[in-house]
Structure 1
Amino acid sequence: MITTYEWLLRELGTPDEIVIQHGGRPIWVFSSRELPLPESGTIRLLNGAVADHLPLIRENADTIWVMGGGDLAGQFFDAGALDRIILTLAPVFLSSGRPTLPRRIDCSWLRISDHRQVGRFVEVTMDIITP
C-alpha cells in the first residue's frame, strides 16, 4: 500500500518539491518507516500516537492540515484537534474496503459548511461542532 507521502514523492519527484508545493510550512509525516526527507529539516518524521506529538506540532504551526489516511484524521479527532473535515468523493462504488474514518462521528458533531464540484468529484466541507 502506498502512503500519501510516498504518492506525493512519486508525483512531485523530491522531498524538496513537497516543501515548495506546501509553501515552506513545516510538515510532519507520521510513519514507522524511514522515508526520504529534504536536508532543510522542513519535513519531520514522527512515530507513535498523534496525542503524544500534538504539543510539538501546535508549538510550530498556527494551522494544522491533516492529509493522509482516515486513522490519522481519527487520531486528531480523538485528541480534540480536528475542527474541519474536507472530504472529496469520487463517483465510484466499491464492493469492499477500508472505512473513510474508522471512528463513529455522529451527525450531531458535524455541520456541512460548504460543498462544490471539482471536475468529476464532489468536495464536502464539514465543521466539527460540540453537540
Structure 2
Amino acid sequence: MTRTTYYTAMTLDGFLADEHDSLDWLFVQEQDEQGPLNYDAFIKDIGAIVMGATTYEWILANHVDKGEPWMYDVPTWVVSHREHRRVEGADLRFAQGDVAPLHDQMIEAAGGKDLWVVGGGDLAAQFAEAGRLDEVICYIAPVTLGAGRPLFPRRFDFRLAEVHRNKAFIAARYEVVGPRAA
C-alpha cells in the first residue's frame, strides 16, 4: 500500500527555516548519514514527490543555479499559484488547488512506491486535512530560531511510532491521527 510521508527536519522550537527561508542551521549539525530513519533508506522507496513553491525556489537557488543537476529522478509536483521556470530534463509538473486529486495523480505516477511531501509545512498540512498524509518523519535539531516557517501550521494530533538518536538529531516517526479539536 502506498504511504504518504512528510519527511523533513526542524529546529527544537518547530521551524523548518528561518524568516528568510535559510536552512543554514541544518547543514552544520552532525549526523550519521546511514543512521536511523536516514534519507538514503527513505528515498529508495519513493515513487513521486510534491513540494511547495518556496521549497522549489530554494532548490533552484541553492543547487540548480549552482550547476548541480536536478536532484530527483521521480515525477515531482510543485504546488503554486504562480508561474515558475522549469529545469531541463526534470519530470516536473505544476499544480494548484485541492490536493486530493493531486494525491491520486501522484499515486498513479508512483507505480506502487510511496509518496514524499517535501515541504513546506502548509502543504503537508493540506495533505493531512484532506486525509492524505500517513506519517511525518522528522529530524529535530538542537537549535532554536525564534521565528520562521513552522513545521506544521495547523492543529493536529500525531502518535509517536518510532524515535532514535542520530548524533546531534532526534529522529522521530509520527503517525497522523487527525485534526485537533479547538
TM (norm. structure 2) is 0.57
Question: Where does residue 122 of structure 2 map in the other structure?
Answer: 71
Question: Where does residue 143 of structure 2 map in the other structure?
Answer: 92
Q: Which has the higher contact order (CA 8 A, sep 6+)?
A: 2
Taking only aligned residues, the RMSD between alpha carbons, in angstroms, comes to: 2.6
Deviation at 1:129, TM superposition (A): 4.7
Q: What whole-Å deviation, never above 9, does each CA across 1:38-97 have from its counterpart, x for those lacking one?
A: 344611111223124222222212311001111100111111111110122222233344
Q: Which of 22, 46, 51 lines up with 2:100 in the alignment?
A: 51
Q: 1:46 & 1:118 partners in 2: Cα distance?
A: 35
Question: Where does residue 127 of structure 1 map in the other structure?
Answer: 175
Q: Which runs of 5+ in 1 are unaligned?
A: none
Question: Where does residue 17 of structure 1 map in the other structure?
Answer: 69
Question: Where does residue 162 of structure 2 map in the other structure?
Answer: 114
**Which is worse superposed, 36-45 or 25-34?**
36-45
Deviation at 1:98, TM superposition (A): 4.5
Any conservation in 2 of the 1:50–1:79 contact (CA below 8 Å)? yes
Deviation at 1:112, TM superposition (A): 1.9
Q: 1:40 & 1:17 partners in 2: Cα distance?
A: 9
Q: Which runs of 5+ in 2 are unaligned?
A: 1-19, 22-53
If each structure's helix is expressed as a fraction of its own residues, which one has the higher value? 1
Q: Which of 56, 59, 69 lines up with 1:5 in the alignment?
A: 56
Q: Which runs of at least 4 in structure 1 moved beyond 4 Å after TM superposition? A: none
Q: 2:169 & 2:143 partners in 1: Cα distance?
A: 10
SS of 2:118 mapped into structure 1: coil
Q: 2:55 & 2:145 partners in 1: Cα distance?
A: 20
TM (norm. structure 1) is 0.76
